[in-house]
Amino acid sequence: SHIVSEFGRMTDTERDQIDQDAQVFMRTCADAIHQLRTEAHKGVQSAQVKEHRTAVLDFIEDYLKRVCKLYSEQRAIRVKRVIDKKRL
């Protein structure tokens, strides 16, 4: 249990790095979805294929938004804890 407690905690610097990486990753995903949406509508294709691609991209975009919301909520909790610690 001593080993777990010693290595199980992250430093604030590590947390900040994870936050930065997560933000970059989410932005990259949003850009990729936008690019896919642009490419999905190019070329000649049936209406059914176009609807299917739009629906899939809408689903992926919605999923990313939910992940970003969850991340923001978790980050807000972390910030609140840091502020509370500083007050003490």
Model's pTM, two decimal places? 0.76
Residue 45, in any domain of the structure: yes
Count of domains in the chain?
A: 1
Mean model confidence pLDDT for the chain: 88
Burial of 39 (0-12, 13-18, 19+ CB in 10 A): exposed
Residue 76 pLDDT greater than 70, yes or no: yes
pLDDT band at 40 (very low <50, low <70, confident <90, very high): confident
21 burial level (CB within 10 Å; 0-12, 13-18, 19+): exposed
Query: Residue 5 falls within a domain, yes or no?
Result: no
SS3 of residue 11 by DSSP = coil
Q: Which of 17-26, 40-49, 50-59 has the lowest mean pLDDT?
A: 40-49
Structural domain boundaries, residue 59: 13-87
Would you say residue 2 lies in a domain?
Answer: no
The separation between CA 48 and the C-alpha centre of its own chain, rounded to angstroms, equals: 30
Write down the pLDDT at residue 7.
62
